[in-house]
């Protein structure tokens, strides 16, 4: 890696973040060093809009994973003993650097992830937010005192770093979904080994390594091993060294990650898939519900685990809702994310496109009607609205992960709840009604980890618990809830007075 230098408006020397492909990303990040690819296989990083290769990164081997974990294990003890304010300061500095490099990050979001400016701004702000909250965790109460049932005894519950944290992150929100684990893990005194998704190894890993390197993180505390999941994923998630294994991705892959982690006595933290419903009750503000529905379905091409997957709309509003949503979908500008005004970019790859198109075609063959969109060109899929959808159609019973809005009618609140809960997933959802008490009754009955009233499911706040139930995962991310995962409580008792024993 090479550095350039410039001066900010206040005269400070500022390192620029080298993210252009020509600066070279063909390295692993191990023990504070950028390790060249050598004779390792290479991963092509492609721009999904143009289908051109941006750069290449090394495909890490199982030996690289072993080395990364060994380095992290060696580094953790000293790092965990550093004063909490020092750990917090480094995470805070990394947060500030993300703000300084926002324009550069926006470009990289577009060319690596297919993310438009709106998504890039949103994700950068989320990443900064989770770093701010994560830095604050370092200074939280490290434990507590509890009274004892034994005379003369004092009980202490001491919070300690979990140790080494393994992190596997996805391609859809790579910077944020990595930062929300890495930042609090580091602030709390852990070391980290990170495997970003092979489609986004820069934003999902190497860029963050560069930012923390510049922030002054000691060598070995963060190590990044890009690689194909099918080659090193099992070895990574079933490794004997980490104390915590964080995985964000599909439920199918997550099940295996969790099983391997538990088999190695590693605590799994899993945020998996979703089949999220947007419920529109008969007394809803229709325009408000349509606004929320369009945003929740089409932002970042629907490639979010908390996107709306099903629009469940009362029959009295159904036709108007479908027409209004179709009108919104038809007006959304599609194109290269680098072009000003683009709101819908490409999906990530051919496999994802083929899955979405297959779900669409099969659902139409089974009786669904395309009210807007339905076409595709390359990796660009038109924002699509479908009417006449039933819960058993592929676009409704699967996490399609695309810019597709199937609309399902219902007659009673009870039927709406039945439709919502007719899935193995339980991540997020939303309910629209002018009667908040009625909406709350429906929200309470939805078997999901998060519900948003008079909004849409696409919500995440770094200081609020985030997670699902069922096939949508285990545990909660953000703030004190991820702190529980990333630390261990140790019970230490002190017998301050002689104790009488029965023998």
Point out the residues that are catalytic.
271, 305
19, 277, 313 from 423: Cα distances, Å: 41, 10, 17
Residue 273, helix vs strand vs coil: coil
d(CA 501, CA 503): 6
Tokens of 419: 């439709």
Between CA 361 and CA 378 the distance in angstroms is 17
Residue pair 442/417 in contact (Cβ under 8 Å)? The answer is yes
C-alpha to C-alpha distance for 109 and 200, rounded to whole angstroms = 9
Closest CA to 245 of 185, 297, 324: 185
Helix (H) or strand (E) holding 78: helix 62-80
Q: Strand, coil or helix: what is 154?
A: strand
Q: How far apart are alpha carbons 110 and 414 in whole angstroms?
A: 43
Q: Strand, coil or helix: what is 373?
A: coil
Cβ–Cβ < 8 Å for 405, 374: no
For residues 329 and 384, the answer to whether their CB atoms sit within 8 Å is: yes
- Pair of tokens at residue 342: 């683009």
Question: Phi/psi of residue 11, each to 5°?
Answer: 90, 0
CA distance 289 to 193: 42
Of 453, 200, 406, give the one whose Cα is nearest residue 311: 406
Determine the Cα–Cα distance for residues 276 and 279; give it in Å rounded to an integer.
10
Q: How far lies 399's CA from each of 249, 256, 309, 405, 431, in Å? A: 12, 18, 7, 12, 19
DSSP β-bridge partners for residue 53 = 46
490 Cβ neighbours under 8 A, 6+ residues apart: 157, 158, 159, 160
Q: Compute, in degrees rounded to 10, the torsion defined by CA atoms 61, 63, 69, 74.
A: -140
The Cα–Cα gap between 270 and 253 comes to 10
Distance CA 249, CA 270 (A): 8
CA distance 246 to 477: 10
Q: How many CB atoms lie within 10 A of CB 146?
A: 11
How far apart are alpha carbons 324 and 419 in whole angstroms? 22
Q: How far apart (Å, rounded) are the C-alpha atoms in residues 86 and 246?
A: 24
């Amino acid at each position: 890696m090479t550095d350039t230098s410039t001066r900010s408006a206040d005269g400070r020397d500022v390192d620029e973040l080298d993210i252009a492909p020509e600066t070279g990303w063909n390295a692993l990040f191990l023990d504070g060093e950028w390790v060249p690819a050598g004779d390792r296989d290479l991963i092509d990083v492609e721009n999904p809009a143009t289908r051109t290769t941006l750069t290449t990164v090394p495909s890490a081997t199982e030996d690289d994973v072993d080395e990364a974990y060994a380095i992290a294990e060696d580094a953790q003890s000293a790092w965990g003993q550093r004063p909490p304010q020092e750990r917090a300061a480094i995470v805070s500095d990394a947060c500030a650097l993300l703000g300084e490099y926002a324009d550069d990050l926006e470009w990289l979001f577009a060319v690596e992830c297919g993310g438009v400016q709106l998504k890039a701004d949103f994700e950068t702000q989320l990443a900064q937010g989770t770093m701010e909250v994560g830095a604050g965790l370092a200074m939280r109460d490290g434990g507590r005192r509890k009274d004892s049932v034994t005379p003369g005894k004092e009980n202490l519950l001491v919070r300690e770093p979990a140790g080494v944290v393994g992190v596997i992150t996805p391609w859809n929100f790579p910077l944020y979904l990595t930062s929300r684990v890495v930042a609090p893990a580091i602030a709390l005194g852990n070391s980290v080994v990170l495997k970003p998704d092979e489609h986004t190894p820069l934003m999902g890993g190497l860029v963050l390594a560069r930012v923390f390197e510049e922030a002054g993180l000691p060598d070995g505390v963060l190590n990044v091993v890009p690689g194909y999941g099918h080659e090193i994923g099992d070895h990574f998630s079933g490794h004997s060294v980490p104390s915590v294994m964080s995985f964000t991705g599909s439920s199918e892959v997550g099940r295996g990650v969790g099983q391997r982690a538990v088999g190695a006595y590693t605590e799994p933290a899993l945020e998996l898939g979703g089949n999220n419903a947007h419920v529109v009750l008969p007394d809803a503000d229709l325009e408000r519900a349509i606004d929320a529905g369009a945003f929740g379905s089409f932002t970042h091409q629907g490639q979010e685990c908390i996107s709306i997957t099903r629009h469940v709309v009362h029959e009295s509003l159904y036709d108007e809702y479908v027409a209004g949503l179709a009108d919104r979908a038809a007006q959304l500008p599609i194109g290269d994310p680098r072009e000003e005004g683009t709101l819908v970019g490409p999906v990530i790859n051919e496999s994802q496109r083929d899955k979405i198109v297959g779900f669409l075609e099969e659902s139409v063959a089974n009786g669904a009607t395309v009210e807007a969109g339905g076409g595709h060109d390359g990796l660009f899929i038109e924002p699509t609205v479908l009417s006449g959808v039933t819960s058993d159609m592929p676009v409704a019973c699967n996490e399609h992960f695309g810019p597709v809005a199937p609309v399902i009618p219902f007659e009673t609140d009870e039927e709406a709840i039945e439709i919502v809960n007719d899935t193995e997933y339980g991540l997020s959802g939303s309910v629209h009604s002018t009667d908040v008490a009625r909406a709350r009754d429906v929200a309470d009955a939805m078997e999901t980890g998060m519900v948003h009233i008079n909004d849409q499911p696409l919500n995440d706040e770094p200081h609020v618990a985030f997670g699902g139930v069922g096939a949508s995962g285990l545990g909660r991310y953000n703030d004190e809830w991820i702190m529980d995962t990333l630390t261990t409580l140790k019970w230490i008792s002190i017998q301050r007075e002689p104790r009488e024993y029965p023998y």
